Structure 1
Amino acid sequence: MAEDNLSAVLYAVDDLRLEQVPIPKPGPKQVLVRVHTVGICGSDVHYWTHGAIGPFVVKEPMIVGHETSGVVSEVGSEVKHLKSGDRIAMEPGLPCKLCEHCKTGRYNLCPEMRFFATPPVHGTLSRYVVHDADFCFKLPDNLSFEDGALIEPLSVAIHSCRRGNVQMGHRVLVLGAGPIGVLNLLTAKAVGAGKVQPQVCIECTGAQPSIETAITTTKSGGVIVLVGLGADRVEIPIIESATREVDIRGIFRYVNCYPTAIELLSSGKLDLSGLTRAHYKLEETLEAFKRTQKADVIKVFIHC
């Protein structure tokens, strides 16, 4: 195996470096992955420009990236469902599997969650990474590595629609036209949602005016799903929500959504081919991050 493990390491605000790190060794229940494609998330850019998201602060060098696909290079001794050469999408969170939330199927709320590129946990923008095999999902032959990287943000959209209980014939309003907003729109349409006046509003910006719009435009008895994360505190027209019984629900990442996301794409029920994209090599990571800031395409990919 080559010893090249070039990685994108964030040291501080505006200090993103490319450097070699040791190739990790997989444990008994892990796999070593030769990373192929990583999508740049808004959180990656936010850590680069601000050094923190809420309580998660970059205090020491951290490899960025978490929207990842690749090829299994080596398997641990106890891994049975994957083999070397398998193409996979990597779900980036590792819960404890022991707490109440994990045992009741809501592992996304695990207080001990270790999530790629969330300080202090390293991400995946490297040639090689290790990951628990339980959170690596085989890609069908008709899905590309870019599709595999898109499974992560698509899972956010699926979880949002589930939290809003979006069903066939529901009218859905999506606020925010970034990658997550667009994927929410496509996912809602894929499960049969229609147009406004909305019974469900999926708010993807985190901005106070947009949250207020969600509350005032959602049909009485409807649901607002808060996807975007903005300021810690915002003013909202709470009486409007309370007297019209408009439920406000949060989401945090996703839970058990990767299989559904893969099925939606592989079956053709959801078509992401229309998403505008830009492509960069790992050596061009800084240029790729700057391109993401321009917001002239939906998704920027780095090919490792």
Structure 2
Amino acid sequence: MSSKNPSFVLRSIKDVTFEDRPVPKIQNPTDVLIRVNVTGICGSDVHYWQHGHIGDFIVEAPMVLGHESAGTVVETGPKVTSLKPNDRVALEPGVPCRSCPFCKAGKYNLCKDMKFAATPPYDGTLAKYYILPEDFCVKLPECVSLDEGALVEPLAVGVHVVRQADIRPGNSVIVFGAGPVGLLCCSVAKAFGATKVIVVDIVDSRLEFAERYAATGTFNAMHSEDPNVNAAEMIKRFDLVFGADVAIDASGATPSINTCVHILRTGGTFVQVGMGAAEIAFPILKLCAKEITLKGSFRYGPGDYRLAVELIASGKVSVKDLITGRVKFEDAERAFEQVRNGQGIKTLIGGPLD
């Protein structure tokens, strides 16, 4: 094993560099040392790079970026039983405290003491080596590649959203936002049995991809500036009769959020996953009158990562179709620039070579 641990580090706003950091040591008997083979770029990584913070999470010291990764087990702690060296794994990048009320209630994604990769002050996975507890490493079947393993992270977000929405066979679902998370919500919804899955965006090329990928129909929200008008047009165009069963907003855009309320049937479910403005104008009266169930969705919880791997392995969800670019580790900054400029859907960065 190399004694070096090259890492891609955010030093301050718009200032990234490569550093050779110490190889992490196994401290707990259930820890696993992983060689990171591939990492996807997430919008949050780009946001930290460009702005230095997301909400209350502020970059105050140099931080390794990256949290969508897959790799190969190098070493295991003495109490690890389910993994061995050379096993390929998807890395679930958030380790909770395991003892707070949220963790004990099976909602560890809400843990206030979560140590999440590339969320200040914790380093991310864009390095040669990374350590995780055994139970946060999900072994990849032989039929699932390491590139697909890196996309288990955003797919797990989609799985959690669809579970929050309680999507069932025969449901009609509207997904706002044709970025990676929106597209994956669309695909998971179909895997859960939704028969109508409509994707809404303002970019025609994204909508064209969505229809090839998993959507049964698409709608360009530039049709009207009025959420009511857009909702009425979609209900008519896609024969939703009383409205959609489920609306998912993966855009964070205020008009999309408002359209969700208007397009839902009475008693429908609305799940918000896209991050937008901290406060917005919202049709609260219609939400109440239609008795809509409104839920947030944050990261992923128990079972979401493993189900995501199973969906890929079974062929029910394809993530490799979203991969539009792959670069070498030393070209990581160029890859970040491509994502910032909206090029492609998912760009992957290879792990450091010996």
TM-score (norm 2): 0.84
1:10 aligns with 2:10: yes
Specify which of 261, 264, 267 is matched with residue 311 of structure 2: 264
Paired residue for 2:25?
25
Paired residue for 1:290?
337
1:193-231 residue CA offsets vs partner (Å, 9 max, x unmatched): 122532101100111111011111111110110001111
Say whether the 8 Å CA contact 2:159–2:188 is kept in structure 1.
Answer: yes
- 1:3 Cα deviation after fit: 2.1
1:241 aligns with 2:287: yes
Paired residue for 1:280?
327
3-state SS, counterpart of residue 50 of structure 2: helix
Paired residue for 2:214?
none
Identity fraction in percent? 45
- For 1:95-106, list aligned pairs within 5 A: 95-106=96-107
Paired residue for 2:50?
49
Paired residue for 1:180?
181
- 1:292 Cα deviation after fit: 0.7
Determine the C-alpha separation between the residues in 2 that align with 1:80 and 1:293: 41
Paired residue for 1:210?
256
Number of matched pairs: 304
1:154-187 residue CA offsets vs partner (Å, 9 max, x unmatched): 0000000000000111000000011101111111
Task: Decide which moves more: 163-172 or 266-275.
Answer: 266-275
- 1:276 Cα deviation after fit: 4.1
Gaps of 5+ in 2: 197-237
Paired residue for 2:121?
120
3-state SS, counterpart of residue 240 of structure 1: helix
Determine the C-alpha separation between the residues in 2 that align with 1:190 and 1:99: 33
Task: Decide which moves more: 31-40 or 270-279.
Answer: 270-279
CA RMSD of superposed structures (Å)? 1.0
3-state SS, counterpart of residue 185 of structure 2: helix
Determine the C-alpha separation between the residues in 2 that align with 1:144 and 1:295: 25
Say whether the 8 Å CA contact 1:75–1:83 is kept in structure 2.
Answer: yes
Paired residue for 2:83?
82
- 1:277 Cα deviation after fit: 1.5
Say whether the 8 Å CA contact 2:34–2:71 is kept in structure 1.
Answer: yes
Say whether the 8 Å CA contact 1:67–1:149 is kept in structure 2.
Answer: yes
Determine the C-alpha separation between the residues in 1 that align with 2:257 and 2:51: 23
Paired residue for 2:166?
165
1:57-78 residue CA offsets vs partner (Å, 9 max, x unmatched): 0010000100010000011111
Paired residue for 1:224?
270
Paired letter, 2:331: E
1:104-132 residue CA offsets vs partner (Å, 9 max, x unmatched): 11111111111101100100000111111
Say whether the 8 Å CA contact 1:99–1:110 is kept in structure 2.
Answer: yes
3-state SS, counterpart of residue 45 of structure 1: helix
3-state SS, counterpart of residue 222 of structure 1: strand
- 1:81 Cα deviation after fit: 1.0
Paired residue for 2:297?
251
Determine the C-alpha separation between the residues in 2 that align with 1:277 and 1:72: 27
Paired residue for 2:212?
none
1:127-161 residue CA offsets vs partner (Å, 9 max, x unmatched): 11111111001000000001111111000000000
1:270-289 residue CA offsets vs partner (Å, 9 max, x unmatched): 12332242001110010000
Say whether the 8 Å CA contact 2:323–2:348 is kept in structure 1.
Answer: no
Say whether the 8 Å CA contact 1:26–1:131 is kept in structure 2.
Answer: no
TM-score (norm 1): 0.98
3-state SS, counterpart of residue 177 of structure 1: coil
Determine the C-alpha separation between the residues in 1 that align with 2:266 and 2:345: 33
Say whether the 8 Å CA contact 1:159–1:254 is kept in structure 2.
Answer: yes
Paired residue for 1:38?
39
